[in-house]
Structure 1
Amino acid sequence: MPTDQPIAAKHGSQLTVVRRDGSSTAFDQAKISVAVTKAFLAVEGAEAGATHRVRDLVTDLTGRVVDALTSRGDSRRSVQVEDIQDQVELALMRAGEHQVARAYVLYREERTKARTPADPAGITEKPAITVRATDGSTAPLDVDRLRVIVAEAAKGLDSVDPELILDETLGSCYDGIAQHEVELALVMAARAYVETEPQYSFAASRLLLDQIRREALGRVHGEPRQASQADMTEAYPAYFPEYIRTGIEAGQLDPELAAFDLTRLAAAIRPERDLDFAFLGLQTLYDRYLLHIDKVRYELPQAFFLRVAMGMALREDDREARAIQFYELLSSFRFMSSTPTLFNSGTTRPQLSSCFLTTVEDDLAGIFTKIRNNALLAKYSGGLGNDWTPVRGIGAKIRGTNGESQGVVPFLKIANDTAVAVNQGGKRKGAVCAYLETWHIDIEEFLDLRKNTGDERRRTHDMNTANWVPDLFMQRVEADGQWTLFSPDEVPDLHDLYGAAFAEAYRGYEEAAERGEIRVFRRVRAVELWRRMLTVLFETGHPWITFKDACNLRSPQQHDGVVHSSNLCTEITLNTTVDETAVCNLGSVNLVAHLTEGGLDAELLRDTVKTAVRMLDNVIDVNFYTTPESERANQRHRPVGLGLMGFADALFTLRIPYSSDEAVAFADSSMEQISYHAIDASSDLAAERGRYSSYDGSLWSQGILPIDSIALLRNARDGDVIVDEGKQLDWDALRDKVLRTGMRNSNVMAIAPTATISNICGVSQSIEPTYSNLFVKSNMSGEFTVANPYLVAELKARGLWDQVMVSDLKYHDGILAGIERIPADLRELYATAFEIDPQWLVKAASRRQKWIDQAQSLNLYMSAPSGRALDELYRSAWRHGLKTTYYLRSQSATHVEKSTLKGTDGRLNAVPVALPEPALPEPAGAMCAIDDPECEACQ
């Protein structure tokens, strides 16, 4: 068996081994051979050492272990003894030598016990430890209270061992440790085991909750206070009125909240729902959402949800009843409002809207007014979409100076730098997306904005960009025709035209150019421009591909303007003018929270959607508007965007693979129900509160619902649309109701990315497939190991969940295809994003799009992109009637760290350990910014 002695150097390797006492020594692979040989001898007897089979196996297994430890090619690293032994154990299991591996595991456990004598309670005794409070005073470490807190954290979690957490915690403590470090040690002890047992995520969350309780109760009551979860049934009602008072005195909460019946509201709080957070969700809430004074939180999670609900109920007649109704929806995770609403509802600056769309005028005053508005809108957490098409291009004449324009790019550079400077109060990086139509003379320079080469003065590395593509261009691509680029000052009406009217005017301008009547233009082969668009999209991730005509031809508001762009995340399609900044107010239904054994609970979903639409409509009236253009548009049209999240979780629960006709059908049926109930709810609100002011003349007023507007797109394209128009619900009755009653909102649906709110609810993002079954997620709250709990449960049920499986998942980056032990049905069900043919994503999105009056944030994944594949994919998206697409995601060189959390972030003072991973290809394209800590998208 291997000894506890460190391994010596050999062959000049500079890899070092960290002893258990913290000292280090050089690496020697001979000791690995000895360890493996002794493992065989312990099982097969002394004579086994002389057999060729064992000698060959020892040589092979030793090589595997050494390769695993050194395959990165960087020998200037260190590993711990335990990590080397982990690799030995893993090599034995993969070689099928299970009895030898088990003997080896038992030996390691015996050695661990021998090194760590236990006390009668099973907990390692340490010398007396004092804890330093924030005021500098000291007191003995209260181990009994730690036991209570840990026991509470493990309650109801069958796979969580409280003694293990407590032992790990005490092992991290030292004399004079600060109180906050003790709390951190508790959390980290539980977090260390998340990758092997997802239930530890809930335990870690509950331990973090103890820290939040200490902070909040102490800050609100003005004296140090600690409370267990059991205490909170009485503590929450006493705390809540004082919390409101504290927030108002700090100038953070709206004084109007004090006018609510706070006793009635406090009695409605559900303390037990604090236990429903997974660790990532609560940590995100703690870091970014809970209100604080000088970085000391005074807002508890259920108070947070109730505060948000109160803010949206301010104008209601029975506002306490409505606040409780809204609170129930939020705290149960059935629906979650978007991040700006969660940040700001009930505060003195209630900017609750998510997305703002603007059109930029073609003059200096207009350009800089819009850049200024970008700053004001971004300050309070808004995501921005700017339509830059009206700005004249390079070489266009400037009449006032008799000079020539430098084009749109220099102004985009300024807009880019503004987004960096205004970072949403330090909560989220300012984010903006610039849109340009494909006929603009500057389109080729626009395509290069995100490149890492070229003139830096004409690059915008922090700004998102998107192509606004008319159908005529796609038709020219299909026909391999010519395409003409113009400067908008010479073709001003193209900006406001779409469909047949655009095609007619465009051809007229081409003829005028032929006659010499157009000063600035250039002809290109449409296919060549299309190829360049796709090439740059693959290389830089931008500009995204969005479709102008589909957005306009199916817009309910085409009687009152034009959709000139989408937003930051490509799900909002609202009209913009110089005088109106389009605004959308977002929230998302959690699909998986509405599932039963028979599928979606229709009645529960109807109730959720009805309440959610009311909440979103209320946002418009209580909102704080930073520009008059945004207030004017929001009050006139009252658009909202109800979306969904947890789609992948729902498929797992229903045992439907993403790559299947059944998944496409579920996308269809689930969105049909949401659409039906959302339209019905808005019509009910119209009966109660009145129609939106620009209703007359809309598609709604003509009895044309989103499902009906497909015919408008089909007619404009001469039938060149692939959209299934099947339906299951009674749409005739709803159509009659809308004609009779009207609509409260010009638009009611949009599927946003839900990048952050899905973390809060502990479900998969939006309509996204699973990225990986075991991965480290990064956001502004840090890095978090996330294991797919559905997969873990299935593997446990089949007796396949063990440390070797965890190591295999890491080794294969959370992808099951290469793990032979996993049955084929599970590999199909839990296939990850890059294993799914992206055409399945397009088909599912097409089925959703037919029900939606706006659009959806649709990421497309390609494991091996090629020019042909990209061309086919994006032409398919256009032909399937999609309005927009979002990021193109391709494989990245950043994968799951090949180490255990216990070695990396499971200890307070751990030495970082990174076991080697196999050589990986360089990234073939841009990663989606949803996983970028600097970008949390709309939500």
Structure 2
Amino acid sequence: MHTQNTTASETRRAPLQGETQTAELAATAPGGLRVIRRNGKVTSFDASKINIALTKAFLAVEGGTAAASSAVREKVEALTQQVVQGLTRHISGGGTLHIEDIQDQVELALMRAGEHKVARDYVIYRDSRSKERAAEAATKPQAAAATRLKVTLDDGTTSPLNEVRMNRVVTEACAGLTGVDVGEIVQSALRDLYDGIPEGELSQAVTLSARARIEKEPNYTYVSARLLLDGLRHEALKFLNQAETRPTFEDMKGQYPEYFRAYIHRAVELELLDPKLALYDLERLGKALLPDRDAKFDYLGLQTLYDRYFLHSNKTRFELPQAFFMRVAMGLAINEIDREGRAIEFYTLMSSFDFMSSTPTLFNSGTLRPQLSSCYLTTVPDDLHGIFGAIHDNAMLSKFAGGLGNDWTPVRGMGGWIKGTNGKSQGVVPFLKVCNDTAVAVNQGGKRKGAVCAYLETWHRDIEEFLELRKNTGDDRRRTHDMNTANWVPDLFMKRVMEDGQWTLFSPEETPELHDLVGLAFEERYNAYEAKADRGEIKNFKRIQALHLWRKMLSMLFETGHPWVTFKDPCNLRSPQQHVGVVHSSNLCTEITLNTKADQEIAVCNLGSVNIPAHIVDGKLDTEKLERTINTAMRMLDNVIEYNYYSVPAARNSNLRHRPVGLGIMGFNDALYKLHLAYESDAAIQFADYSMEAVSYYAIKASADLAVERGSYNSFKGSLWDKGILPHDSIQILAKNRGQYLNQDRSISGAFDWDALRVRIMTTGIRNSNTMAIAPTATIANITGVSQSIEPTYQNLYVKSNLSGDFTVVNEYLVNDLKKLGLWDEVMAHDLKYFDGSVQKIDRVPNEIKEIYKCAFEIDAKRLIDAGSRRQKWIDQAQSLNLYMAQPSGKKLDELYKHAWLSGLKTTYYLRTMGATHTEKSTMADGRLNKVSEGGNSMSAMAATSQITATASTDVGSAKVCSILDPECEACQ
């Protein structure tokens, strides 16, 4: 650890004395920022000392030569900026920090940067100094009582600190939780107080006291959320001029109905909510609220709601959690006959966390512009009016929080003849650049970035340039750094790859039928066009080896994260709606597969997800509860279609005609934890199969029930549903067209009466053309406190950075299992930190635990595909399936994506890889961990998460991606 053992204690002393200075920090910071010292003294935030303290920390480990190293100086400067950013992210116009909080940030910055030796030395010293101070304090008289402190109230007056109330609030926050200590939280909070502290800071100090303990005991995340609510209640009730603005958790139970009525009327008055909501029986709805459910949130979930979802006026939030859920429910029930009854039903389901609607629904339900749908798919025509009309549609849809998928295949390729001018086309790329810039200019209602994905079929003349759109080299006028891209791959191309055949690129104005043909019909026509090209009847084409293009696709996917690989034929051949149109693309997150037609139909899908672990009861999937959940959820999703605000007529017409919805799942890995199954195990793959079969059966059955009540969707006749072909039956259609190139399980469990359901649908119809799609659930999973979608756990302990701040995330299932074995202690917590949340290298962890709690990059990516294939069997749309690879190579990528195609997957999503030779701890040049940059200089897709890096030739600060840890990756949810 040190250059010379004889000077180890001396060199260690430097950072520790500088440690007190470190706690005062450095670099630019908001004016008026102050630091609470350990003796209670408040001093100004010094912007010069952090650099010195960090330099001394490196000297302690690396010896005296470190000071002269330019690399160390640069490293220290970057770390200093990280610490300041972490501390001041949400402090503007002044505030206070405790010395210990600042030291925590220094420790975190060192860990993120991979400086484990320096960090370890720093942690050991902090611990030793803490013990020394405790020993010194034991020999000294007790300090003055905290009750002598004064608190500055909102009106400017002061009042003695009310320790009794503080103890009560903390005690209520800890109720029903194990492993938490009321006295420890209170004493830690008192440490952070100073005379005259504003009451807002007082509330924050108590919350942060609990939050700092999350990594040692996961239950503190619930304590932190409940303490955060104390401040939120005051903010909301004060804004509404309620008589009591400082109720405790228990007090609020009696006050919620009165607050709810005032909240609805004030929101209508401020033109934030539809006046129709005020016509509900607010007394009945207020009495139906369940205040105890405020205690269900973890800290990240509640802070996310507060920062981004709750209604506000001039940045003052006055919407509390149960009012929020009821407001969403009221919007969804607004056209129901018994609207109060249905609103209560919808509210009860959402507030239980058993099901959650998607982000646009949560944002906008009950508002004056209820744009509740998540995804919009369009086809761009091959003329200027149509192209810019499509871009205009993108802007309007994006304005109201829609995620976009654009099919650009009809636009002629470079060199194509333009009849009106007798000139040659520049191809599709320049228009994609305009589309990219529009997405940047028109964000989603000011709440998150505009998000669009462009799709292009693999036979398009411009496909090679399309593959390079996200590169950081080349002509920037032909790059789209802010837009996602995806390959729309026909089966014939994959067959040519498998057989090492040739592939021909065409311009679509010369081969117009290819865009709408699929399967064997596509193959026949494509071969005919190749013959025409051979005869000289087609001029604008290019002949290449299919394998060469495939390798370039995978190379660009690895280097830039794009284009994603999605498969045209399974999306179409298994589509229930192939009788009325063609699926030309997927959406922003690759789970929606709906028909589009240029100038006529813009496909729309609204989403929501079932919380699978909430339906694991007594070690098995509770199918009766699941059926109840899905019955209500499908009604909610169907209600969106009439209630939804459509900014583009073509979207409204399409949605009312076909009525597609996308019921998905989230928390899959949490469900495996509850079942004690390893993600890679055969039993887990079987559970993926069975659980999705259950969701599929109940979703289709619920839609059939709605058809009896409300009628079938308009284009039902001629659909696969009408023919008695259910999603799992449609695999046979794909197999007929694929031939030998399909290896997808077709078994059924026998637990569900599919035959009876099939006959019933043929007789009475079905309400929705499509019923299921598994979205990423990036934010709603945070709100409900479960793992995202079908994702494997990223790490068992990490710091999640998003727009709401830095959050320690600990796998509570792992912690609970380790507690049962007597293995959870402070050393284990530090070991988890050191090994980046992995238990694989911690010797005292049993092998069984290691298998169950493998992290995403420790799981064989082929097993993710195997599980995805089993789920895809039952889904009438698709799934957002990320693939993880710790040490990628060309051969491994080739095998992985061929396996995906052969397994019958419709789409894949991000490829997340970890550098084979070196691992970045910081991942970001600006020091933010696990977060995508908001500027134009973001990390590459391979650096999308902590420890993920790009290839050696790729700049780690390159292309923008949708990170699994970034809340902006929620255009679908």
Do they superpose with TM above 0.5? yes
Confirm or deny: 8 A CA contact 1:438 1:468 kept in the other structure: yes
Query: Which residue of structure 2 aligns with residue 557 of structure 1?
Result: 577
Please state whether the residue corresponding to 1:472 is helix, strand or coil.
Answer: helix
Pair 1:935-2:965 in alignment: no
Task: Tell me which residue corresponds to 1:669.
Answer: 690
Partner in structure 1 of residue 892 of structure 2: 869
1:827 matches 2:850:
yes
Matches within 5 A, 1:319-330: 319-330=339-350
- Is the counterpart of residue 172 in structure 1 residue 206 in structure 2? no
Residue number in structure 1 paired with 2:137: 115
Once residues 521 and 784 of structure 1 are traced to their aligned partners in structure 2, the CA distance between those partners, rounded to angstroms, is 53
Q: Which residue of 1 aligns with 2:450?
A: 430
Query: What is the rounded CA distance, in whole Å, between the counterparts of 1:928 and 1:520 in structure 2?
Result: 36
| In structure 2, distance between residues paired with 1:86 and 1:249 | 48
For the pair 1:453 / 2:487, whether they are aligned, the reply is no
TM-score when scaled to structure 1? 0.88
For 2:877, which of 854, 859, 881 is the aligned residue? 854
What is the root-mean-square deviation of aligned Cα atoms in Å? Answer: 3.1
* C-alpha contact (below 8 Å) 2:11/2:59 kept by paired residues: no
Give the deviation of 1:380 after TM superposition.
1.1
Pairing of 1:322-471 with structure 2 (within 5 A): 322-471=342-491
1:533–1:63 distance in 2 versus 1, CA, 3 Å: closer
Aligned to 1:776, the other structure's residue is in SS state strand
Tell whether the 8 Å contact from 1:758 to 1:764 is kept in structure 2 after alignment: yes
Q: Distance in 1 between matches of 2:358 and 2:321?
A: 16
Alpha carbons 1:391, 1:488 under 8 Å: kept: yes
**Deviations 1:501-541 (Å, cap 9, x if unpaired)?**
11111111111111111121001100000000000000000
1:18 corresponding residue in structure 2: 18
Q: CA deviation at 1:210?
A: 0.6
1:760 CA displacement: 0.4
Deviates more, 1:346-355 or 1:71-80: 71-80
Equivalent runs, 1:562-641 vs 2, <5 Å: 562-578=582-598, 579-641=600-662
**Equivalents in 2 of 1:502, 1:119: separation in Å?**
87
Show structure 1 runs of 5+ residues with no match: 1-6, 26-61, 96-100, 898-918
Q: Check whether the contact 1:437–1:469 (CA below 8 A) recurs between aligned residues.
A: yes
Once residues 582 and 862 of structure 1 are traced to their aligned partners in structure 2, the CA distance between those partners, rounded to angstroms, is 33
Q: 2:235 aligns with which of 215, 221, 233?
A: 215
Which digits, 9 at most, give the CA deviation of each residue in 1:33-56, with x for residues without a partner? xxxxxxxxxxxxxxxxxxxxxxxx
Question: How do 1:485-504 and structure 2 match up within 5 A?
Answer: 485-504=505-524
In the aligned structure 2, how far is the partner of 1:569 from the partner of 1:645? 15
SS of the residue 1:139 aligns to: strand
Match of 1:756 among 769, 779, 787: 779
Structure 1 position 806, deviation (Å): 1.1
Paired residues of 1:889 and 1:928 also in contact (CA < 8 A): no
> Is the 8 Å Cα contact of residues 428 and 935 (structure 1) preserved in structure 2?
no
Distance 1:813 1:124, change over 3 A: farther
Q: Give, in angstroms, the shift of residue 170 of structure 1.
A: 1.8
Pairing of 1:42-57 with structure 2 (within 5 A): none
In 2, the alpha carbon distance for the partners of 1:189 and 1:507 equals 69
Aligned residue runs from structure 1 range 833-912, under 5 A: 833-891=856-914, 893=919, 895=921
Give the whole-Å Cα distance in 1 for the aligned partners of 2:19 and 2:487: 57
Which amino acid letter does the alignment assign opposite residue 454 of structure 1? G
Residue in structure 2 matched with residue 40 of structure 1 by the alignment: none
| Residues 1:701 and 2:735 aligned together | no
Change (3 A) 1:85 1:306: closer
After superposition, give the CA deviation of every residue in 1:208-243 in whole Å (9 maximum; x if it has no partner): 101111111111235671111111221011111111
Q: Which moved more, 1:884-893 or 1:804-813?
A: 884-893
1:735 aligns with 758
Task: Please give the secondary structure, in 2, of the residue aligned with 1:700.
Answer: coil
Letter in 1 for 2:18: V
- Output the CA distance in 1 between the equivalents of 2:604 and 2:459: 27
**CA distance in structure 1 between the partners assigned to 2:859 and 2:782 by the alignment:** 23
What whole-Å deviation, never above 9, does each CA across 1:513-571 have from its counterpart, x for those lacking one? 11111121001100000000000000000000000000000000000000000000000
Residues 572-601 of structure 1: CA deviation (Å, up to 9, x unaligned): 000000111000010000000001124110
Q: Does residue 542 of structure 2 align to residue 547 of structure 1?
A: no
Q: Structure 1 residue 134: deviation in Å?
A: 3.6
Distance 2:950 2:688 in 1: 31
Letter in 2 for 1:337: S
Deviates more, 1:714-723 or 1:250-259: 714-723
Amino acid at match of 1:112: A
Counterpart of 2:552? 532
CA 550–818 in structure 1, closer or farther in 2 if over 3 Å, else same:
same
**CA offsets 1:786-808 (integer angstroms, 9 cap, x no match):** 00000011111112111111111
Deviation at 1:142, TM superposition (A): 2.4
1:145 paired to 2:189: no
Cα separation, 2, equivalents of 1:486 and 1:368: 23
Query: How far has the Cα of 1:780 moved from its partner?
Result: 2.2
Distance 1:894 1:124, change over 3 A: farther
For residue 205 of structure 1, the aligned residue among 218, 225, 232 is 225
SS of the aligned residue for 2:186 comes to: helix
Distance 1:533 1:68, change over 3 A: farther
- Provide the rounded CA distance (Å) in 1 between the counterparts of 2:222 and 2:901: 43
CA contact (8 A) 2:778 2:967 kept: no
Distance 1:536 1:118, change over 3 A: farther
CA displacement at 1:126 relative to structure 2: 4.2
Q: Tell me by how many angstroms 1:128 deviates.
A: 3.4
Q: Select between 529-538 and 222-231 the one with higher mean Cα deviation.
A: 222-231
Q: Distance in 1 between matches of 2:288 and 2:310?
A: 20
> Is the contact made by 1:130 and 1:139 (CA closer than 8 Å) also made in structure 2?
yes
TM-score (norm 2): 0.85
- Equivalent position to 2:61, from 48, 55, 66: 66
Q: Displacement of 1:759 after TM fit? A: 0.3
SS of the aligned residue for 2:755 comes to helix
1:129–1:443 Cα change, 3 Å = same
Give how far 1:822 is off.
1.0
In 1, Cα distance between the equivalents of 2:370 and 2:221?
33
Give secondary structure in 2 for the equivalent of 1:158: coil
* Cα 1:821/1:358, change in 2 over 3 Å: same
Taking a change above 3 Å as real, the CA distance of residues 282 and 727 of structure 1, as seen in their structure-2 partners, is: same
1:689 alignment partner in structure 2: 710
- The structure showing larger relative contact order (alpha-carbon pairs under 8 Å, at least 6 residues apart) is 1
Residue 665 of structure 2 corresponds to residue 644 of structure 1: yes
Measured in 2, the distance between the counterparts of 1:116 and 1:872 equals 65
**Residue 36 (structure 2) aligns with:** none
**In the alignment, does 2:503 pair up with 1:483?**
yes
**Equivalent residue letter for 2:250:** A
Deviation readout 1:657-707 (Å, 9 max, x if unpaired):
001100100000000000000000000000000000000000000000001
For 1:318 and 1:12, the matched residues in 2 are separated by: 71
Aligned pairs, number: 865
Change (3 A) 1:267 1:113: farther
- CA shift for structure 1 position 159: 1.1
Amino acid at match of 1:687: V
CA distance in structure 2 between the aligned counterparts of 1:621 and 1:422, rounded to whole angstroms: 26
C-alpha deviation, 1:722, in angstroms: 1.0
The answer for the alignment partner of 1:657 in structure 2 is 678
After superposition, the Cα gap between the structure-2 partners of 1:221 and 1:649, relative to the gap in structure 1 and judged at 3 Å, is same
- Given that residues 405 and 453 in structure 2 are in contact (C-alpha distance below 8 angstroms), is that contact kept between their aligned partners in structure 1? yes
C-alpha distance in 1, partners of 2:969/2:876?
26
Deviation digits for residues 331-351 of structure 1, max 9, x if unmatched? 000000000000000111100
- Give the direction of change, closer, same or farther, for the CA distance of 1:196–1:67 in structure 2 (3 Å limit): farther
Whether the 8 Å contact between 1:813 and 1:896 is mirrored in structure 2 is: no
Q: For residues 396 and 580 of structure 2, what CA distance do their matches in structure 1 show?
A: 26
Check whether the contact 1:587–1:616 (CA below 8 A) recurs between aligned residues: yes
CA deviation after TM superposition for structure 1 residue 105, in Å: 7.4
Aligned residue for 2:937? none
2:272 to 252, 270, 274: 252
Counterpart in the other structure of 2:45? none
Equivalent position of 2:770 in the other structure: 747
Task: For residue 127 of structure 1, report the CA deviation from its aligned partner.
Answer: 7.8
Q: What secondary structure, in the 3-state scheme, does the structure 1 residue paired with 2:195 have?
A: coil
Q: Which residue of 1 aligns with 2:950?
A: 923
Match of 2:87? Answer: none
CA distance in 2, matches of 1:477, 1:821: 47
